[in-house]
């Protein structure tokens, strides 16, 4: 019976390809849209997640997400350092600045100042230069995308040595780094904390965050709670703060709704295509199933045949769809707008589950039809 | 004389929601082994309906049918299917071959439903096809075969599992006269087996002479029965 089912399925090439294509298309649509959505949402937290050394981020209690900065007074650093269980605590600057190139062009940049001594918070992957160049006076490092954006005339790595001004202070590009793309796509400029606080407009407080490392055996969450209790500041573990940022964008912007609609449409369109084609496939073969029933196939055998056919087209269609999706992200990784977007295994399984359910519904629906088919229909013309 | 099918007092009504129409009225019938029995009558008189009931693919509103001593009208679905699978062979006007299977695979299908591997079933069916003169065509798909060849595949499928009863609904209606005769000759051969009955529904008067017995129907009733290959007395079919 298996062999007959498979031959029936593949015997009609046109219908077979339509089925596989329908499922592949639905799979691609869903997995790709969901991946882009997840990728975009992860970007909102990328600057937090990138600093892997820090277990806890300490900030003003009013801060709701990573792109909203309420600076802390300098003495907060000492207070955090004095909390038991803190291995180290360093200042971290994050703010916006205007960069002026010699040509006179103005660029809004995201300015990151990392601790002068430890360089905690600086990127790990250097495409040109290395961590040490940040110690040079007036040194600045850009993320590759940002560098290419500001100086479109050369490759990112060839911007080394270029000069620019931030708030009338001369800076020289000494390094180009690879950083996770942020949600707000300004170029990211890295420099020493002392330098960043020196060239930005004078305000009472400058320290955006204090980055904390938990001591050996310390739970970051307990440490965060202790810091909050003892300093009155807000302290969140790295993951909590990342989630806080993601959640902020999820709840405070129209992005999830818009994406939700797109994804829902993808699921609906995909489901409709898949269910419809499969249902039609079975219905058009009703007479064949009727003939099989007349010559002695039981409903159980026919059900297994239909389910096998569903499973086969489902698996092939899903494989193709996921494959194309993976290929898409592989190729598009060079496109800044899609950089770092990947097909996650959760999406892989999630899409498989949705496709499975769709096919299940389609085959159960058509099975009812097959069960009801009277073998006597084969006597009719 | 061995009785293959015994039907008594068959009524059949179709329709639902109060709109019912009766198409068979108290049909009594006995069909014997080793014979080719024809069921003839004008279009719409209920031949196909009766054939479906006798072969267990349709349940009558009233009445009982025994095939080889098994009461198919009171069998459960599952039992009914298994009975059909083992004891009955089917030939349809429209052949109803599976387009994706070769001639041998199609002919072997009843063995597959009974649990045999498709490959083995096709092998067995090949032998039957050869006796039907289909030797050179066993690996062709139905669409590569002529109507007469397709009907031969259907005959092979109907007898490959050596059933006791073979039912045929207008087996020659889609064929030209010559091919129709060849097909009938093969069915006639199949009916020569003393352990088999062949029942052919037709209104093709060119093939009546293949019959051992002709039963005439009109408006849902049996109106004549001859014990030879001529129409029962007083019956005219055009
Ligand atoms: N499933 C059904 N539902 C309702 N009416 C039916 C059904 N099947 C058959 N009939 C009716 O029963 C009557 C007999 O039909 P049947 O097909 O048995 O005739 P027939 O003698 O085989 O005719 P033909 O020679 O044209 O094939 C017809 O009036 C037909 O419309
Ligand atoms: Mg008929």
- pLDDT for residue A61 is more than 90: yes
Coil, helix or strand at residue A30: helix
pLDDT digit string, tens, across residues A21-37: 888 988 998 898 888 88
Q: Which of B113, B144, B168, B174 is the best residue to mutate to test the A interface, defined by the most A CB atoms within 10 Å of its own CB?
A: B113
Is the model's pLDDT at A334 over the cut of 80? no
Of B77, B92, B98, the CB nearest to A4: B98
Return the residue in B48, B55, B57, B166 with the most chain A beta carbons within 10 A, the one to mutate for interface testing: B57
Closest ligand to residue B204's CA:
1
Per the prediction, chain B carries an average pLDDT of: 92
**CA dihedral sign, ordered B81, B84, B87, B90:** negative
Whether the Cβ atoms of residue A236 and residue A244 lie closer than 8 Å to each other? yes
- Which listed ligand is nearest to B22 at the C-alpha? 1
Contact A4 B118 (CB under 8 A): yes
Cβ pair A276, A361 in contact under 8 A = no
| Cβ–Cβ contact B137 with A under 8 A | no
Confidence at residue A369, expressed as pLDDT on a 0 to 100 scale: 86
Cα-to-centroid distance, B219 and ligand 1 (Å): 10
| pLDDT per residue as tens digits for the range A133-145 | 999 989 999 999 8
Mean pLDDT across B201-213: 91
Q: How confident is the model at residue A381 (pLDDT cuts 50, 70, 90)?
A: low
Measured between CA atoms, the residue of chain B closest to residue A305 is B113
Average pLDDT over residues A220-226: 94
* E strand map for B56-109: 62-67, 70-71, 88-91
Identify the nearest ligand to the CA of A377 by its number.
Answer: 1
Query: What pLDDT, on the 0 to 100 scale, is given for residue A167?
Result: 86
Q: Whose CA is nearest to atom 31 of ligand 1?
A: B44
Q: How far is B111 from chain A (nearest CA, A)?
A: 9
> What is the C-alpha separation between A228 and A215, in angstroms, rounded?
17
Six token digits for residue A17: 């390809």
CB distance B46 to ligand 1 below 6 Å: yes
Query: Nearest-CA neighbor of B109 among B137, B57, B120?
Result: B120
pLDDT score of B237 more than 70: no
**Least confident among A42-51, B47-56, B143-152, B157-166:** A42-51
The predicted model gives B11-22 an average pLDDT of 87
Is the CB of B228 inside 8 Å of chain A's CB atoms?
A: no
Q: Give pairs for A126-130: CB < 8 Å, separation 24+.
A: A126/A175, A126/A176, A126/A177, A126/A178, A127/A156, A127/A157, A127/A176, A127/A177, A127/A178, A128/A156, A128/A157, A128/A160, A128/A175, A128/A176, A129/A160, A129/A174, A129/A175, A129/A176, A130/A175
Q: What is the pLDDT of residues A236-283, one digit of tens each?
A: 999 999 998 888 888 888 888 888 888 888 888 878 887 888 888 888
Task: Give the Cα separation of A143 and A228 in Å (integer).
Answer: 33
pLDDT of B217 higher than 60: yes
Answer yes or no: is the C-beta of B14 below 6 A from any ligand 1 atom.
yes
B140 lies within 8 A of chain A by CB = no
Structure tokens at A339: 């950089």
The answer to whether B51 contacts A379, with C-beta atoms less than 8 Å apart, is: yes
What residues sit around ligand 2, an ion, with C-beta below 5 angstroms?
Answer: B 48
| pLDDT for A182 beyond 80 | no
Distance separating alpha carbons of residues A36 and A340, to the nearest angstrom: 10
**Chain B contact for A3, CB < 8 A?**
yes
- In terms of Cα–Cα distance, which of A44, A13, A200 is closest to A111? A200
Specify whether the CB–CB gap between B41 and B68 falls below 8 A.
no
> What are the phi and psi torsion angles at B60 (to 5°)?
-75, 160
pLDDT (0 to 100) of residue B78: 87
Contact residues for A297 (Cβ-Cβ < 8 A; gap 6+): A1, A289, B81, B85, B113
Please tell me if residue A371 touches chain B, with a CB cutoff of 8 Å. Answer: no
What does the pLDDT read at residue B65? 96
- Nearest CB to A376; choose among B57, B82, B113: B57
Q: What is the pLDDT of residue A143?
A: 92
- ∠ at Cα A98 (A94, A104), nearest 5°? 155
Given a cut of 80, is residue A214 above it in pLDDT?
A: yes
Query: Chain B contact for A335, CB < 8 A?
Result: no
Q: Which residues of A touch B163 (CB under 8 A)?
A: none
The three-class DSSP label of residue B226 is strand
Confidence at residue A14, expressed as pLDDT on a 0 to 100 scale = 86
Q: Are A121 and A51 in contact (CB under 8 A)?
A: yes
Q: Is A36 helix (H, G, I), strand (E, B) or coil?
A: helix
As a whole number of angstroms, the distance between CA B110 and CA B159 comes to: 9
* Best of B13, B15, B49 for a ligand 1 pocket test (most atoms within 8 Å of beta carbon): B49
* CB-CB neighbors (< 8 A) of A3 in chain B: 112, 117-119
Residue A89 CA to residue A120 CA, distance in Å, equals 10
CA–CA dist A339, A144 (Å, integer): 11
**Residue A48 pLDDT grade (very low, low, confident, very high; cuts 50, 70, 90):** confident
Question: What pLDDT is stored for residue A241 in this prediction?
Answer: 93
Predicted confidence band at B1 (pLDDT cuts at 50, 70, 90)? low
Q: Tell me the C-alpha distance between A61 and A177, whole Å.
A: 31
Residues in chain B: 238
Task: Give the pLDDT confidence of B76-132 residue by residue, as tens digits.
Answer: 988 988 999 999 999 988 889 999 999 999 999 999 999 999 999 999 999 999 999
Would you call B95 an interface residue with chain A, using a CB distance cutoff of 8 Å?
A: no
ipTM (interface predicted TM)? 0.86
Which of A10, A287, A376 comes nearest B58 by C-beta? A376
| Shortest CA gap A287–chain B (Å) | 8
Q: How far apart are CA B132 and CA B183, in angstroms?
A: 9
Q: Which ligand is nearest to the CA of B44?
A: 1
Q: For residues A219-233, give the mean pLDDT.
A: 94
Q: What is residue B67's predicted lDDT score, i.e. its pLDDT? A: 93
Provide the phi-psi class of A85: left if phi over 0, else alpha when psi is between -120 and 50, else beta. Answer: left
Burial status of residue B124 (CB atoms within 10 A of its CB: 0-12, 13-18, 19 or more): middle
Return mean pLDDT, chain A: 89
Mean pLDDT of the A146-153 span? 89
Is B149 an interface residue toward A (CB < 8 Å)?
A: no
Cα B103 from Cα B109, distance rounded (Å): 10
Pocket test residue of B10, B17, B23, B217 for ligand 1, highest count of atoms within 8 A of CB: B23
B117–A3 CB contact, under 8 Å? yes
- Mean pLDDT across B149-169: 95
Domains parsed from chain B with CATH numbers: 3-226 (3.40.50.300)
* Domain boundaries defined on chain A: 2-43+254-379, 73-232
A288 touches chain B (CB under 8 A): yes
Tokens at B101, concatenated: 């299977």
Q: How far is the CA of A4 from the centre of ligand 1 (A)?
A: 31
Interface contact B48-A380, CB threshold 8 A: yes
Cβ within 8 Å of residue A252, ≥6 positions away: none
The C-alpha torsion from B82 through B85 and B87 to B90, rounded to 10°, is 140
Among protein residues, the one with the nearest Cα to ligand 1's atom 20 is: B44
The two beta strands, B221-226 and A209-214, are: unpaired
Tokens (6 digits) for A161: 């040595």
Q: Do B93 and A292 touch (CB under 8 A)?
A: no
3-state secondary structure of B236: coil
Residue A44 contacts residue A178 (beta carbons within 8 Å): no
Residue A117 exposed, middle or buried by CB count within 10 Å (0-12, 13-18, 19+): exposed
pLDDT for A281? 85
User: Residues A17-20: contacts with CB within 8 Å, 24+ apart?
Assistant: A18/A277, A19/A274, A19/A277, A19/A278, A19/A281, A19/A313, A19/A317, A20/A313, A20/A316, A20/A317, A20/A320
A10-19, B6-15, B51-60, B216-225: the lowest-pLDDT one: A10-19
For A84-121, write each residue's pLDDT tens digit: 999 999 999 999 899 998 888 888 999 999 999 999 98
């Amino acid at each position: 019976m298996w062999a007959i089912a498979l031959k029936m399925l593949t015997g009609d090439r046109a219908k077979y390809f339509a089925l596989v294509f329908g499922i592949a298309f639905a799979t691609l649509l869903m997995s790709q849209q969901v991946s882009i959505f997840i990728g975009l949402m992860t970007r909102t937290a990328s600057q937090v997640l990138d600093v892997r050394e820090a277990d806890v981020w300490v900030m003003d209690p009013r801060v709701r997400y990573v792109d909203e900065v309420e600076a802390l007074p300098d003495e907060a650093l000492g207070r955090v350092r004095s909390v038991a269980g803190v291995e180290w605590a360093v200042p971290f600057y994050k703010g916006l600045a205007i960069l002026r190139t010699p040509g006179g062009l103005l660029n809004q940049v995201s300015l990151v100042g990392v601790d002068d001594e430890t360089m905690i918070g600086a990127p790990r992957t250097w495409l040109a230069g290395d961590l040490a160049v940040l110690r040079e006076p007036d040194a600045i490092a850009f993320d590759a995308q940002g560098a290419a954006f500001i100086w479109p005339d050369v490759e990112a790595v060839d911007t080394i040595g270029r000069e620019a001004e931030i708030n009338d202070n001369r800076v020289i590009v000494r390094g180009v780094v690879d950083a996770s793309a942020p949600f707000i796509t300004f170029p990211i400029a890295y420099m020493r904390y002392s330098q960043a606080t020196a060239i930005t407009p004078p305000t009472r407080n400058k320290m955006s965050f204090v980055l904390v490392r938990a001591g050996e055996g310390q739970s970051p969450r307990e440490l965060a709670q202790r810091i909050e209790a003892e300093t009155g500041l807000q302290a969140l573990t790295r993951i909590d703060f990342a989630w806080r940022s993601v959640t902020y964008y999820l709840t405070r912007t129209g992005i999830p709704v818009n994406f939700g609609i797109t994804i829902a449409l993808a699921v609906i369109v995909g489901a409709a295509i898949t269910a419809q084609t499969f249902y039609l496939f079975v219905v058009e073969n009703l007479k064949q199933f009727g003939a099989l029933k007349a010559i002695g196939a039981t409903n159980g055998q026919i059900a297994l045949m239909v389910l096998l056919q569903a499973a086969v087209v489902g698996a092939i269609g899903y494989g193709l769809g996921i494959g194309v999706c993976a290929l898409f992200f592989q190729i598009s990784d060079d496109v800044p707008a899609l950089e770092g977007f990947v097909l996650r295994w959760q999406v892989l399984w999630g899409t498989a589950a949705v496709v499975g359910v769709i096919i299940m519904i389609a085959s159960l629906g058509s099975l009812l039809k097959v069960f009801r088919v009277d073998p006597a229909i084969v006597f009719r013309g | 004389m061995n009785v293959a099918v015994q039907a008594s007092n068959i009524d059949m009504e179709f329709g639902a929601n109060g709109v019912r129409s009766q198409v068979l009225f108290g049909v009594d019938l006995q069909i014997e082994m080793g014979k080719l029995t024809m069921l003839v009558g004008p279009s719409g008189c209920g031949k196909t309906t009766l054939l479906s009931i006798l072969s267990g693919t349709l349940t009558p509103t009233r009445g009982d049918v025994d095939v080889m001593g098994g009461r198919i009208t009171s069998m459960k679905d599952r039992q009914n299917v298994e009975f059909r699978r083992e004891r009955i062979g089917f030939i349809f006007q429209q052949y109803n071959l599976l387009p994706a299977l070769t001639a041998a695979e199609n002919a072997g299908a009843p063995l597959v439903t009974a649990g045999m591997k498709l490959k083995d079933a096709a092998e067995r069916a090949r032998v039957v096809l050869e006796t039907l003169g289909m030797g050179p065509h066993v690996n062709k798909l139905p669409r590569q075969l002529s109507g007469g060849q397709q009907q031969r595949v259907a005959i092979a499928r109907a007898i490959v599992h050596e059933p006791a009863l073979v039912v045929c609904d207008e087996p020659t209606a889609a064929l030209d006269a010559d091919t129709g005769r060849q097909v009938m000759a093969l069915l006639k051969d199949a009916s020569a087996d003393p352990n088999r009955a062949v029942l052919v529904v037709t209104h093709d008067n060119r093939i009546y002479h293949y019959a051992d017995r002709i039963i005439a129907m009109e408006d849902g009733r049996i109106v004549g029965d001859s014990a030879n290959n001529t129409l029962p007395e007083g019956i005219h079919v055009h």
